Amino acid sequence: MPRLTDLLRPAADAAVFSPHGRGFAGAVDRAVVVMATVAGIACPYGPVLWYKSMLVAFAAIGGLVLLGAGAATIAAMFRGARIQGPRRRSALVGRSAGDTALAAWIAACFAAWPIARAEAGEPIGLVWSLAEAGGLSAVIWQTLLGVLVLDAWLYWKHRLLHTRLLFPFHRGHHVYRDPTPFAGFAVGPVESLLTFWPILLVAFPWATHFGPTYVALVGGFVLLNYYLHCGVTYAALEATLPRLFVNTSAFHNRHHANAEVNFGEALTLWDHICRTRAEDRRK
């Protein structure tokens, strides 16, 4: 029986020994998909409205993310400097697209709750005027605080997924050692749950989100993920983004090559604070 301290140690590599096996992790992943999908039966506004909302959200999220990934993949073929040199193995585009579609399904299950509530005529947290959001100053500090809190969650979630206990739920993402934009959201159901659950907050009127800022941040996060996984670098972005502690293609690509460093998903702030950058390990 492995000790908890052993299970919480960092997983050294994608091939690390799993204490409970991918079989168990796979069963949990499948259970998450089933539970997220059947949860709509309990929707107080009716299952039909919930499943309609979920399918609309899935078509929008999955369709737009996959189309964007295709466009980013084509762009990366003609522009930018390849990080890992000529590609020697299959890019696994089909597999990563399938994984992304499954992640979009989980995200759509979360998005269905605020959509169904709005369709039923009930208020939600998404507002579109500065007055409803509490004024410009409130929007600014809520946005900055929200970004910092969410980034901290993404970083520590990622660190935990690299422990021996939880790595089986994340290992699939590290199949893409030389990724393409299709791998940006190619994560398993458990990781999708941990990543996309904040969408539920939009369903609550007390959790005010200023619509234009919310949409811009979500869109920016998607575009950033394309860049982080495109396999190429653009000099202007690599020179500018690090000054803002924003993740880059070169920084995140190192994580796919060495799973022990560079855990930031949006910002690199926590990698600096916790000294988990690749350059910190060399000191």
Residue ranges in the chain whose pLDDT is less than 70: 1-22, 282-283
Q: From residue 172, give the alpha-carbon distance in Å to each of 35, 99, 127, 178, 254.
A: 21, 9, 37, 13, 17
Specify the pLDDT at position 87.
86
pLDDT for residue 17 = 39
Please, which residues bridge with residue 81 across strands?
A: 233
The percentage of the chain sitting over the pLDDT mark of 70, rounded to a whole number, equals 92
Q: Give me the pLDDT at residue 70, please.
A: 97
**Predicted local distance difference test score (pLDDT) of residue 90:** 85
Q: Going by DSSP bridges, is the β-strand pair 126-127/209-210 parallel, antiparallel, or unpaired?
A: parallel
Q: Are 273 and 266 in contact (CB under 8 A)?
A: no
Q: What is the pLDDT of residues 218-238, one digit of tens each?
A: 999 999 999 999 999 999 999
CA distance 170 to 176: 11
